[in-house]
Every structure is written in structure tokens, then in C-alpha cells.
Structure 1
């Protein structure tokens, strides 16, 4: 079975339990905390994947790091991953859980690339406009500062990219000039 299919099975199981308990939002926040910690500490991933570190030791490590930050349900999910030697799908499982949870709650995740941080007011304007356009209740925005942008904004929502950057507009103009299709 592929790594993605395995991750999705665990994600679906956790999603169903969290939904049944009414803790989708809390579980998603807890998993984000774990995901960020794992991504920021590559040594943690190495320890988790190391074959000479016993399952019990891995559980101890998880419990000492995340014991107070996550619910028993989330902790037990980690323990099941460890018991079945599936620690390598942890990050994919969290991504899959987020997709299921967001879909269920009518939320879309957006990455907004700008030259400088955007204000809360601008985020709210983007959120309301794009959420309606996508048929979602809410848009969760992550603002990423991209020094390569000359100006403007670029938004990535799932596999869609809305590019209103100056760089993109200049490329479009250049293409029109080269092909002789300049609008008057």
C-alpha cells in the first residue's frame, strides 16, 4: 500500500473520531502545532524514523514533547502510528486530516504571497471575496513575504493560482508585444 494511502487511512480514522466527539477544530489546531514542531526540528524526524529507537522510547519522546499540547485522542493516534511502524507518514497524515476537516467545515486554505505583510483588513477583504468565489464559508490565509515579487499579490488556493503580481503583468505585456497582440 502506498504511503499516501496509509496516511489517508489514519487521517480518516482520526477525522471520524474528532467529528464524532465534536473536536474537529481543536484537533486540527493540535495537529498544526505538532506539524510545525516536526518541520522546525529535523532531528525529531530522524529520531522517529531511526530503526534502533524502540517504540516505547518513541512514545516517551512524543509524550514528553506533546503530552500537554494534544488530546488523548491525538496522542493515541501517534501511538498507533508508532506501534504499526508508520511514523514516516505523520506529516502526510496531518495534511490529509486537515483536508478532510477543512472540507467538512467549508474552509479553504490560501497562501497569499506579497512583498510585505498585509493588514488584517486586507486579509478580511480577500477572505470574504475568495470564499464566496470558491463556495466556501471561510478562507484560512497564510501570508508569505516573497521578495521576488515586484509588487501586487499572488494567491494559491489548493491547486489554483491567482496571480495579480506586477511581475506576471509585465510577462503578459512582454508576450503581447512579442506576438504583436497588443490591445488598444
Structure 2
């Protein structure tokens, strides 16, 4: 059974169901919260995959995990998945849905890693440039500081990485030159 195919079909069905109802953004937020809870809680994973619990009991546990009432689209989706015994694939379905949501709404996630803090003006200019190049309506910037870069920056957009760090440039020079033998003076 192709897990990726199942996940994409369910994700697309959720998107096609939620979009005309105007619930895409809310469902995406609920999906991201669910993913975080699912990844962070072994108990939630055990409850969802338990063969002993009924579908209604599993859905009750999921409802209690949220501090608000779930959207009709998301709750209906969870009910469908659980009743068809596909809950073990939720960890693939929901990220696939979030990807579809971002694609349909023109949202791009960008991770900017620098050796030191950079000012907001630089980040805003870079974000605007990324938005122009990717034809995106919204660029979400996630900033990280990693002193091991020495200088420069790295930024990742989806599966593309631009590495303009000093550490990487030094590694490349070292690889090209090879390890030089130490000289005795």
C-alpha cells in the first residue's frame, strides 16, 4: 500500500471539502496543532492506534486535546479517517494537507539561518525578494542563529537551500586543496 498516495488523496479531499466552506485557514491551523500534539505525545499516538478503543472514544480524546471546538471540516475529516481505520496515516495526511493549503494560498516558508542576529530591515528585503521570485502572496520567515556558520547566511525555501556561509566556503576550499601537510620551520 502506497502511504504517500493515500496521504495525498485524503489531504486533497480535505482541502476540496474545506475550501468552499471558507475553512481552509482554520483547518490548516488545526492540522498544524494536531501535528505538533501528535509528534509530542506518545499517549496520543497510542490512543489513535489502539485496536481496543472505539472510533467515538478516539475522537473524544482528540477533541479534548484542543482547547477550542474543532471546525466542522476538520472534525468530519478526523471522523472519516478514524472510522476507516486510517488513523496511523494521519501523520502523513495532515502535513500533505498543510502543503496543499500553502500552495493554494501562495504561502512560502523560508528559514533564514545567520551567524549572528540580523536587523529586521534585511529580513524584510530578503522576504520581499523571495516573494517576488516565487510569486508568493505571503512569505513566512523563520529565523535561526548558528554561530558555527562563522559569517554569511543560509536560507531554505521548501526543499531548496542557498548556503552562503563562510564555514561552507572554507570547507569547499579545504576539499579542493586537500589537506596540506604541515610545514616544519
Shorter-chain TM band? 0.7 to 0.9
Shift of 1:124: 2.2
The C-alpha deviation readout for 1:126-183, integer Å capped at 9, x for no partner, is 21111212222222222344464333321121221111222112122323444xxxxx
2:181 is aligned to none
* Partners of 2:112 and 2:154 within 8 A in 1: yes
1:62 is aligned to 62
Alignment of 1:166 with 2:166, yes or no, is yes
RMSD, aligned α-carbons: 2.3
Alignment of 1:71 with 2:71, yes or no, is yes
Shift of 1:115: 4.3
Distance 1:151 1:88 in 2: 43
* Partners of 1:7 and 1:93 within 8 A in 2: yes
Distance 2:146 2:51 in 1: 39
2:4 is aligned to 4
Q: How does 1:7-156 map to 2 (within 5 A)?
A: 7-66=7-66, 68-115=68-115, 120-146=120-146, 148-156=148-156
* Partners of 1:128 and 1:138 within 8 A in 2: no
Give unpaired runs (5+ residues) of structure 2. Answer: 179-185
Distance 2:69 2:125 in 1: 32
Bigger drift between 43-52 and 114-123 goes to: 114-123
* Partners of 2:111 and 2:156 within 8 A in 1: yes
> TM-score, with normalisation over the residues of structure 2?
0.84
> TM-score, with normalisation over the residues of structure 1?
0.84
Higher-Rg structure is 2
2:183 is aligned to none
* Partners of 1:131 and 1:139 within 8 A in 2: yes
Would the alpha carbon gap of residues 23 and 167 (structure 1) be closer, same or farther in structure 2, given more than 3 Å must change?
same
Bigger drift between 78-87 and 53-62 goes to: 53-62
Give unpaired runs (5+ residues) of structure 1. Answer: 179-184
